[in-house]
Amino acid sequence: MRPSVILGVTGGIAAYKACELLRLFTESGHAVRVVPTASALRFVGAPTWAALSGQPVADEVWADVHEVPHVALGRHADLVVVAPATADLLARAAHGLADDLLTNTLLTATCPVVFAPAMHTEMWQHPATVANVATLRDRGAIVIEPAVGRLTGTDTGKGRLPDPAEIFAVARAVLRRGGPVPGDLAGRHVVVTAGGTREPLDPVRFLGNRSSGKQGYAFARTAVARGARVTVVAANVDLPDPAGATVVRAGTTAELRTATLTAARDADIVIMAAAPADFRPAHYRDAKIKKSEDGSAPVLELVTNPDIAAELGAGRRPGQVLVVFAAETHDALAHGRAKLDRKKADLVVINEVGPELAFGTDDNAATVLDADGKVTELGRRPKEELADAVWDLIRPLLE
């Protein structure tokens, strides 16, 4: 049976982006009913929503009264997503108002509800909106943090609707978990490192690795879907920002260290999924390194980079959970166990790397060890599903 999704659309300029979100749902096999507000229909008309969804569209409780849509839609849905969610809609939802079909649906929904706000920065930061968002989150709703970027007109700031594909990724993660209250990380601050650092040799070359950041971003998306406040420290990642996460950019291992230690000060959980370079050149060359006349290769002197995970493990506060990664080519279990002890971590996620394994792929397989010696095998699966499985192991550690 196809999952049933209600897509609520409110009257913001970002309403046109919901068309892309609707397409992602329908093309992946979801049955979608679009419930726009009257204001939303001033931006995108009902025929567009009906054509894209293959379902009738109504915005008021008086349409098809015999089917009692204001009750039936919310009761029968597997997920409700409101994108964009304006400040007005968040206020009405937080205060339990029911003056149109969408707010009636929200009041009768027994499934998870995801709000993707979009508004000007001042509206997002207004104390009324802050209080309304807190109320909705306290009730178990997932309210995705807006993105930072270009807003209406010439304004730029926080309040932009996240990329539709990233909203879809969060919605998919919520659907995968199911249940009326999926936010088991609500109120928690999660820090995730992702990608691979680069250590410059000269103006055109660097020492680096093949890490794409996909697994780290999967941890970020699934943490957002479970209600967490998420900070991603991204090292040379060429992927769209995960919806709802604050992304801090880093290039070198030194930059990754500074950003991670800063973000981790108030973090409940730190996921060290990035691949920092273990070594860096002892000397940076201001000019491009040239071949010698006899064709011999230059000799590079390397020095050891700081061990960020070990520094976190040695200095973390009581109750903070630390998860490290071990990407190995051989003797993976032994190396992973040694890393778990050396970093003073709670869990180590071990995966073997190689052609079509781990780096750059959309799926992954891992073995997870905890500090008590328990071994959990996670067979090959999409990276977001693997991240969710690891979150299930982390959650009891927070008790």
Planar angle of CA 263, 269, 273, nearest 5 degrees: 80
Q: Are 243 and 83 in contact (CB under 8 A)?
A: no
Query: Rg of the chain's alpha carbons, rounded to an integer?
Result: 23
Beta bridge partners of 235: 195, 250
Annotated active-site residue 209? The verdict is: yes
Q: Pick from 194, 192, 197: which is nearest to 234 by CA? A: 194
- What secondary structure does DSSP assign to 376-394, as a single string? EEEEEEEHHHHHHHHHHHH
The single residue of 209, 305, 351, 364 carrying the catalytic annotation is 209
What six digits make up the tokens of 179? 């249940």
Count Cβ atoms within 10 A of the Cβ of residue 135 and give its class: 0-12 exposed, 13-18 middle, 19 or more buried: middle
| Backbone φ and ψ of 96, nearest 5° | 70, 25
Letter for the amino acid at 91? A
Task: Kindly give, in sequence order, each residue whose CB lies less than 8 Å from that of residue 222, ignoring residues fewer than 6 positions away.
Answer: 173, 384, 387, 388, 391
Give the three-state DSSP class for 24. Answer: helix
Catalytic residues: 209
